[in-house]
Amino acid sequence: MTSKKDILDYVAFRKEARGNIEGDEPIYCIYLITNPDEERIYEKEGERIRSGFPDTGPTDEPGYYHDLDSAIKAMNENACDIREYCYNAGFILCRFAGMYDCVCRDARMYFLWDDEKEGFFQAEEPQIFAHVAF
């Protein structure tokens, strides 16, 4: 499970790799998914073929924060009702400015909806996302 420290270490590494440019700060995007552990299946000539990649169902990216703690709090508190009664899991994705800033496992935190607590809370990321970069 990716910890807050892991994310902050990743940020320090990326900033150094990018030349420590003043004002080059990440944002923490909230990315929600409907089906957290389903695999995408294709049909070809009547045969079902497993893709090895997730079939997330409908997704949404309702917003972002400039600090990780605020993003975690928004997930935990279901800020602005981001669940909308259909999203069952989500990620906080650490992104930097630029095109195609892919987010690997070291730069994201996985959350699952908890009915009792009425919020999203950090959980172990399903293996099906191991090779997915957002």
pLDDT tens string, the chain, 134 residues long: the values are 999 999 999 999 999 998 988 888 999 999 999 988 888 888 888 898 888 888 888 899 999 999 999 999 999 999 999 999 899 999 999 999 887 777 888 899 999 999 999 999 999 999 899 888 88
- Give the model's pLDDT for residue 119: 97
**N-terminal to C-terminal alpha carbon distance within the chain:** 17
Count the domains in the chain. 1
- Give the model's pLDDT for residue 38: 84
- Give the model's pLDDT for residue 112: 96
In a domain, 101, yes or no: yes
Domain that holds residue 71: 4-129
Residue type, 116: E
Torsions phi, psi of 7, nearest 5?
A: -65, -45
Residue 89 and residue 58: Cα distance in Å, rounded? 11
How far from 93 is each of 10, 114, 117, 128, CA to CA, in Å?
12, 20, 22, 17
In a domain, 134, yes or no: no
